[in-house]
Amino acid sequence: MKYRFTTSILSLAFFTFLFSSSVLKAAVFITPKAPAINVDSYILIDFDSQKVIASKNPDKAHAPASLTKVMTAYVVFQLIKDGRVSLNDDVLISEKAWKTMGSKSFVEVGKTIKLETLLQGLIIQSGNDAAVALAEHIAGTEGTFTAYMNEYARELGMNNTIFENASGLDTKNQQTSARDMSILASSVIRDFPEYYKWYSQKTFTYNDIKQNNRNKLLWSDKTVDGLKTGYTDKAKYNLVASAKRLNDMRLISVVLGSSSPDARANETQQLLDYGFRFFETIKIDNIVKSVPLLKGEKDSLKVGTTESSTITLPRGQFKLSRQSIELNKNLSAPIKKGDRVGDLVIDHEGDKIATFPLIALEDIAQSGFFSRSIDSLKSFF
């Protein structure tokens, strides 16, 4: 059981003023619908809050094409982190890797190449040969490597994804979804920032052959810094993109089944512009508040949030939200620093949009018998 009281914006670090009711009533905020784009499915999310800003068929199964390589790279990153492989590993190129059809890094059979070079070829040039070479180096066979891919997909919550190879070439059952690819992209950005930089690299040269990154937004939008394109006859044109703009707000867009390279870039640009123009990410941190306390040496307790969190709302709407504290019923001493004593709740337009745990920021011992008896009577009445 909990009881609630509402504060005036809780003295949040980022709100030092109050809005009068007349100002609130006069404010007009319009959030249009997301742009109508001609793709099989898409999703637009805020990276920090994981809020879905817009979507169309986000869980529909779709052939991933070279978006598969985002998971191929993720597996390699994980194994580097675990110390099982190294960027400096020498990777022997097999005949199978050399013969792999589709986009290439132009590796040569029988030669050894540094693992770091193959990773860059995989990410920037979308080399299918690089994907197979990495898979064989790590797992012995590409088939065994896909077991790693599928296991990480399950761990990340990619519930509509099945991988059957490391390159993304079409198979009968290989599939993903827009939502799943947004989860994977978020994981790469969050877990491996030291390698994410490669997704923004525009060109890469190997074997005296210079190739451009196929993500056209890297040239047309300086805020875009990743991630990956994909194309097969079955998948059509796919693109996972991420951009960071105002106040370090980062959005991730996934477009599946577009009609052409230009169309997928234009459609992604529309989604990113929509998200940044009409939504904002609010950081919730540094909240400290005194709340009533029974049976303690002090009659109030300092509480706060445990860690920084974020929420995403239509731009300008946070000032119309309500922040309230829900305390555990009959909160009383003794209290230890770190005890969870309630929640910070944020409501917007009648909906609860976020709940953050509140913890005690100090130790408070019990008061004497007489004081505790009086507080017991107060609690009873």
Render each residue's pLDDT in the chain as its tens digit; 381 residues: 455 554 433 333 333 333 333 344 445 568 899 999 999 999 999 999 999 999 999 999 999 999 999 999 999 999 999 999 999 999 999 999 999 999 999 999 999 999 999 999 999 999 999 999 999 999 999 999 999 999 999 999 999 999 999 999 999 999 999 999 999 999 999 999 999 999 999 999 999 999 999 999 999 999 999 999 999 999 999 999 999 998 899 999 999 999 999 999 999 999 999 999 999 999 887 778 888 887 777 888 888 887 778 889 999 888 888 888 888 887 888 989 988 888 888 888 888 878 888 888 888 887 654 454 555 556 555
Two tokens, residue 226: 């990743």
What's 247's DSSP letter? G
How far apart, in whole angstroms, are the C-alpha atoms of residue 331 and residue 320?
Answer: 29
In this prediction, residue 188 carries a pLDDT of 98
What is the domain partition of the chain in residue ranges?
A: 2-26+285-380, 41-278
66 is annotated as an active-site residue: yes
The answer to whether 268 touches 284, Cβ cutoff 8 Å, is no
The answer to whether the Cα torsion of 273, 278, 284, 288 is positive or negative is positive
The CB density around residue 15, as the number of other CB atoms within 10 Å, is: 15
In this prediction, residue 98 carries a pLDDT of 97
Two tokens, residue 2: 């909990």
Domain 41-278 in CATH: superfamily? DD-peptidase/beta-lactamase superfamily (3.40.710.10)
Q: What angle do CA 302, 303, 307 make, to 5 degrees?
A: 140
The length of the chain is 381
Smallest CA-to-CA distance from 254 within 155, 177, 188 is with: 177
Active-site annotation holder among 41, 51, 55, 69: 69
Active-site annotation holder among 41, 49, 55, 66: 66
126 is annotated as an active-site residue: yes
H helical segments located in the chain: 21-26, 68-81, 95-99, 115-124, 128-139, 142-156, 178-191, 193-196, 217-220, 261-278, 369-380
Task: Calculate the alpha carbon distances from 226 to 1, 292, 304 in Å.
Answer: 46, 49, 36
Task: Calculate the alpha carbon distances from 137 to 79, 123, 125 in Å.
Answer: 12, 17, 19
The CB density around residue 257, as the number of other CB atoms within 10 Å, is: 20
DSSP string of 26-89, one letter each residue: H-----PPPP---SSEEEEEETTT--EEEEESTT--B--GGGHHHHHHHHHHHHHHTTSS-TT-
96 is annotated as an active-site residue: no
Write down the residue that tokens 């305390």 correspond to: 327
Active-site annotation holder among 126, 186, 309, 367: 126
CATH number of 2-26+285-380: 2.60.410.10
In this prediction, residue 369 carries a pLDDT of 46
In this prediction, residue 267 carries a pLDDT of 98
The answer to whether 346 touches 317, Cβ cutoff 8 Å, is no
